[in-house]
Amino acid sequence: MGITLKTPEAIEKMRIAGQLAAEQLRMIAPHIQPGITTNELNQICHDYTINEQQATPAPLNYHGFPKSICTSVNNQICHGIPSAKKLKNGDIVNIDVTIIKDGYHGDTSKMFFVGKPSILAERLCRISRECMRLGVEMVKPGIHLGDIGHNIQKHAEANHFSVVREYCGHGIGKVFHEEPQVLHYGDAGTGVILEPGMTFTIEPMINAGKRHVRLMPDQWTVVTKDRSLSAQWEHTLLVTEDGYEVLTQLPGDEI
Ligand code: MF3
Ligand code: CO
Ligand code: CO
């Protein structure tokens, strides 16, 4: 299929899908409290997607994924399956929502604190957000994807954290995961050159310890091999004529 350049009509639909995904994260935020289960968060998001947004939760049944959102807690890196386990004070949790509206996907995630985080957890969540943001702010026609990965890796490692290699950002549109792959590490001046009309995610996964991952027996949940904390932030972006538009940013919110 290659990299699809979106038409103005497709871009308008991507904007709508992106805003709906972002509104999910805003909606779920006040529910993230000690004692709630990730199953309950999943149910709230699922119902909101279907009933309030008349949209479809993309993760549900995607390659067999059993729930409507991903919830990745503490040492879980990504693709955590919502469960009956309660969140507790001091946990950090990534909520990753992807919705389909009018055939197009919007994909975004952020970190939430459950009660009061440790100093390390707070720093990891801040630095990983900075990694995502500095990647986003580089986006414009003519740069290489490798420029983005390189700067994300530099910022993470300067703060003595590591970048997960096995999972990456991705092109997105009618298809959930399409080309190009957006690596969060690597060499400047390598890889795809950006053009207006491309849409893709930037979603660095940053570990407090070593970069290595382990897949849990459920075949979905990815955890840090050394059991260190991990954090991730994700936005869906459009390359414009002179820069970028963050399709999953709500008016008044910071990147
Ligand atoms: N939302 C994830 C991403 O950012 C993908 C989740 S796929 C699932 O690409 F099947 F685990 F839901
Ligand atoms: Co994504
Ligand atoms: Co996502």
pLDDT tens digits for range 51-87: 999 999 999 999 999 999 999 999 999 999 999 999 9
For ligand 1, atom 4: residue with the closest CA: 107
User: What's CA 250's distance to the chain center, in Å?
Assistant: 15
Residue 21 pLDDT greater than 90, yes or no: yes
pLDDT tens for 115-135 read 999 999 999 999 999 999 999
pLDDT tens for 144-196 read 999 999 999 999 999 999 999 999 999 999 999 999 999 999 999 999 999 99
Residue 88 pLDDT greater than 90, yes or no: yes
Which ligand has the shortest distance to the CA of 218? 1
pLDDT for residue 168: 98
pLDDT for residue 9: 98
For 228, residues 6+ apart whose C-beta sits below 8 A from its C-beta are: 75, 207, 208, 209, 210
Share of the chain above pLDDT 90, in %: 99
User: How many angstroms is it from 176 CA to the middle of ligand 1?
Assistant: 8
Cα-Cα-Cα-Cα dihedral sign, residues 205, 206, 211, 212: negative
Tokens of 201: 């995610």
pLDDT for residue 146: 98
Does residue 66 have its Cβ closer than 6 Å to ligand 1? no
Q: How confident is residue 1, by pLDDT bands cut at 50, 70 and 90?
A: confident
Burial class (CB in 10 A: 0-12, 13-18, 19+), 113: middle
Does residue 107 have its Cβ closer than 6 Å to ligand 1? yes
pLDDT tens for 29-61 read 999 999 999 999 999 999 999 999 999 999 999
pLDDT for residue 203: 99
For ligand 1, atom 11: residue with the closest CA: 79
Does residue 96 have its Cβ closer than 6 Å to ligand 1? yes
pLDDT for residue 204: 99
Q: Is the pTM of this model over 0.85?
A: yes
pLDDT for residue 119: 98
C-beta atoms surrounding 61 within 10 Å: 11
